[in-house]
Amino acid sequence: MLKYILNDQIIDQDKAFVHVSDLALLRGYGVFDFFRLVGLKPLYFNDHIERFFNSADTLRLKCPVGRKRLKSLILEIIEANQIEHSGIRIVLTGGESTTGYSIGEPTLFVINESINPLPEYHFTQGIKLITHEYLRELPDVKSINYLMGIYKLPEIKEKGALDLLFHWGGKISEVTRSNFFIIDPNDKIVTAGEGVLRGVNRKHVISMARENFNVEERDMFVHELKNAEEAFITGTTKKVMPVYQIDDLVIGDGKPGPITSKLQKLYDDYIDAYIKQQPE
Ligand SMILES: Cc1ncc(COP(=O)(O)O)c(C=O)c1O
């Protein structure tokens, strides 16, 4: 039986429940974070723990355990479950609410789940996105609310796309579950500076890319897409994933461009090097 975490305890998977009066269920109020294991080693453990506590603070949710205890419980379930290349999902709910609207005592749970590998051709040929005008509320918060992305899944599928690219007031922000980058005609790598989730992979890809390329974090406009030579997304399972089409617009020559391909290779090496440095 898999081991999960519920509040400050390790429990069997079949004992992991939250109450029906939890604000996460009633109003979609809660935060989470998600990272993957390479082998059994957490990838960017501290980054994800920090972002999780920042999201919780912003939503005024008090986690029943502190950072140190949470990390040690997580390491314990990883060791107990032995699921290589899996994911760790940390969730903090709004808690059982007496009024159906007020914050209760938050429930913490942590799940260790298998990750279905994405098809290899997404990495080698790239993906299509469709644009959608939408503003994520409190974009710095990794909220459990993915209403628009899930609602739009049938349309995304029908159009042969993988996901939505959000824009608002002419500015591009991010993809439902990834950050978005273009390579502009001057070979600059550009990504939105504000109004997006601070993706952990965004951060590491930017710092890695800065060793070889110019990277700009700034407002990015919808009208810039037509001049983009390349585009890609970053995320925990996507790493660096090329984008070959956005709506009817083919990016570059419709194949992953040279800079994106180089970043993909560099980032795989970067992750390997990072993991090698982590304790056994
Ligand atoms: C809205 C949003 N933006 C960006 C990302 C990418 O973040 P990370 O690189 O930490 O996976 C995610 C991840 O789920 C997300 O939900």
- pLDDT for 126: 98
Q: Confidence class of residue 53 from pLDDT cuts 50, 70 and 90?
A: very high
173 within ligand 1 shell (Cβ under 6 A): no
Say what the pTM is: 0.97
Q: Does 234 sit in the ligand 1 pocket, CB within 6 Å?
A: yes
Q: Which residues contact 160 (CB under 8 A, 6 or more apart)?
A: 128
- For 59-117, give the secondary structure using H, E and C: CCCCCCCCHHHHHHHHHHHHHHHCCCCCEEEEEEECCECCCCCCCCCCCEEEEEECCCC
Q: How many C-beta atoms lie closer than 10 Å to residue 253's C-beta?
A: 10
Mutate to test the pocket of ligand 1, among 236, 238, 239, 240 (most ligand atoms within 8 A of CB): 236
Taking the centre of ligand 1 as the mean of its atom positions, its distance from the CA of residue 33, in whole angstroms, is 9
Give the C-alpha separation, 270 to 209, whole Å.
11
Kindly state the average pLDDT of the residues 19-38: 98
The length of the chain in residues reads 280
| CB atoms near residue 128 (< 10 Å) | 20
Task: Choose which residue among 178, 181, 236 to substitute to test ligand 1 binding: the one with the highest number of ligand atoms within 8 A of its C-beta.
Answer: 178
Tens of pLDDT along 228-277?
A: 999 999 999 999 999 999 999 999 999 999 999 999 999 999 999 999 99
> pLDDT digits over 124-162, tens only?
999 999 999 999 999 999 999 999 999 999 999 999 999
pLDDT tens-digit readout, 167-199: 999 999 999 999 999 999 999 999 999 999 999
Decide: 178 and 199 in contact? Cβ < 8 Å.
yes
Per-residue pLDDT reduced to its tens digit, 61-86? 999 999 999 999 999 999 999 999 99
For residue 279, pLDDT over 90 is answered with no
Q: Which residues pair with 20 in a beta bridge?
A: none
φ, ψ dihedrals at 161, nearest 5°: -105, 170
What pLDDT does residue 21 have?
Answer: 97
Q: How far apart are CA 161 and CA 205, in angstroms?
A: 24
Q: Mean pLDDT across the stretch 44-67?
A: 98
